[in-house]
Structures are given as structure tokens and as C-alpha cells.
Amino acid sequence: MTRVLLALVLLLCAATAEAAVRIKDIADIKGLRENQIVGYGLVIGLNGTGDTLRNAPFTEQSLQSMLENMGINVRNETTSTTNPARPTTLRTRNVAAVMVTADLPPSIGPGERMDVTVSSLGDATSLLGGTLVMTSLRAADGAVYAVAQGAVTVAGYSVGGQAQSVSQGTPTAGRIPNGALVEREVQGSLHEMEFLVLELKNPDFVTATRILDAVNRYAGGRYRSQIAFERDYRTIVLSKPRYVGPVRFLAEIGELTVEPDTPARVVINERTGTVVIGRDVRISTVAVTHGNLTVRVTEMPVVSQPAPFSRGQTVVVPQTVVEANEAGSQVAILSGVDLQRLVRGLNQIGLKPSGIIAILQAIKTAGALQADVIVQ
């Protein structure tokens, strides 16, 4: 079953790689990207699952600062006119310090909403049922671009008693749908760009050339001019006609289809036993055999009893049994003319994913694997 699934996955990847894709799926517009914003805040209303203020002093400090901004003094209190002031100790377990993160979409304006992610900082056990207090979200330049507030949605849970506990998912992290209100617009827009630049997600010389030819072929019939030229194997510069808006122009260019070229690459994940072989991987003719040697060591101690009235002692005599078994293996000739033949040759040997990984690494060492091997 494992070999059949591996073959199906590889054949599906090969068939998918041969299909043409849209330009907007393999390239981005330079300057139009998301911006990461982050903020520090408090989640309140927890049912005794918040931070322990003694173990999380930053939560106590934040709670005191928030209450003081609202005109409530909780840092000091005076017991009488003769006794000096002493600090107040907070014991609440309904508050948790969190980090709020979000991705600010491009061209989003003030007043629009977006989702945010809330993650606990202290020793809170769950954010279920909590509400995030108004939190400012800042970008790398230090400016506030959004403000987040609202009820936290948590997918996981954690319950338990003194002897046993049950948990599912991550109850200390959640999301607030439409929980952030945008306050500032990111500078830069399509109308301010003199040239529009396409950046390939997977840079490649052949793919860049195919995109260039497809755009110029379309522009020759649509605009009667050549509007695209390559800057390098990653970027393609587009000269927008004056009488066409940038949105419509990019919509037309993005719908053009090309067949991207993929490098010959083998990706191996030894932890999960995953092997992904690219379509253009080739193997020079080699003979491969693979066998497993199993060594079993069994300890069988024997108790030795002395004869009656011999004044001897009972001792334990060690006894070890060692068995070695090497399973039979086949010798197969691999010649990677195409991906299908390579998969068929590996399946003939009857290997598990760990065996395929070992063989591919050995073939690469022998210099017969004409591809890059990436081990994750």
C-alpha cells in the first residue's frame, strides 16, 4: 500500500507540473505585499485560567497600569493616618497577558477590519471565554496601524483534576475574526508606480523567459507594442500603457497562462519518511541492491542451585543468545529515463520509505543521481 501511494503521489505531481498555470499564481507584484503588525495586550474575563500574577509579574504590571489609566489606584493604599502606605497585592486569575499578531493586507484603508491572532505569554492554561482589551498594533516603523479588541475564539480545550487531565488542540492561542480596525493606510499604491514589476515566487531562467514571451505576445495583439522586458531571472518589468488603468492591466496580464519550469530536485524528510522526486530527475544506469540485517540479543539468565549440605551459594549464571538474520534482497537496474520508470524501478525492489531514502542518498554519493538532494 505504501508503494502504491508513493507512486500515485509522484505521478500526480508530475502531471500537475506539466499543466499551464496563471501568471498571478507564480508571480507577485513588487510593492504590493502584506505587512506584519504586532501588539501587547490583556485578555480578561477568563474563568480562573489566567496568569498567576506571582509567576507572571509583567501581567500584574500591565493590569496595574491599565487600571491607573482609568483612574483606579491599586499600587498603594493607606490603612490609617499613622501607618505608612503599603503595596496592594493582586490575586486575580481572570487576566492573561497576550501577544496580538496580524498581517496587514496591501491597499487596505482606514476603517476596514481584519482578523488577528492572540497568543498567551504567561502561565495561563486557557483563553477560552476571554475578551481582548483594546490593543494597539504596530509595524516595524513603530507607527500604530490598527487597534484590536473583541472576544477570543479558541479551538482547543484543557480540563483536568488532581490525578488526570485532558487537552485537545492549543487552548492558549486563538483568533478574533474581524477583531482589528485599521487606523492608518500603508504608503504606496499602484498609481504611484512608474513601472510594474513581476517577481517570481520560484526564480528560474526558463520560467522568466516564458512569462516574458507570453506577455509580449499578448501585448502585441492587444496594445500593438512590446511592454515587458526581463531584469534578471527573478523580476520582469512591465511598461503599462497610458490609456489603461493599473488594475485592469494587471488583471489581464495575471490571467495569461505559462508552463513553469521546475529544477531537478529530490526532497527528503527523514523524520516522516517523505520523499518527493521532481519531474526532471534523472538517474544514470546503476545496479542497486538493498538488504536488512537484523540482530537479536536475548538475555536468558539461569539460576544455579548448590547440592544439599554442600555449603554452596545460589548464584545467577548469565546466558546470552544472539541471532542474526539477513533478509534476502533483489538486485535491480535503475535507469531514470523519466519519472515513471524511476518510480517503477524503486517499487520493484520492494522498499519502504526509509529504504528509498537510503538508496537515493547512496546513488547521489555515487554520482549517478542528476539532481539536487535536499534533506529536511
The 10s digit of each residue's pLDDT in 138-160 is 999 889 999 999 999 998 766 66
Q: What are 197's three cell numbers?
A: 514589476
Q: Give kind and range of the element (H or E) at residue 253.
A: helix 246-254
CA distances from 136 to 37, 175, 239, 281 (A): 9, 16, 39, 50
Under 8 Å between Cβ of 48 and 123: no
Q: Give kind and range of the element (H or E) at residue 298.
A: strand 293-299
Q: Which of 15-29, 126-140, 210-224 has the lowest mean pLDDT?
A: 15-29
> What residues does 302 pair with on adjacent strands?
317
**What is the domain partition of the chain in residue ranges?**
35-74+91-154+169-182, 190-258, 265-305+313-375
**Which of 23-27, 86-90, 360-364 ranks highest by mean pLDDT?**
23-27
Burial of 233: CB neighbours in 10 Å, binned 0-12, 13-18, 19+: middle
The 10s digit of each residue's pLDDT in 301-357 is 777 777 777 777 777 777 766 665 556 555 555 555 555 666 666 666 666 777 778
Once rounded to an integer, what is the mean pLDDT over residues 250-274? 86
Residue 15: pLDDT band (50, 70, 90) is very low
Assign domain 190-258 to its CATH architecture: 2-Layer Sandwich (3.30)
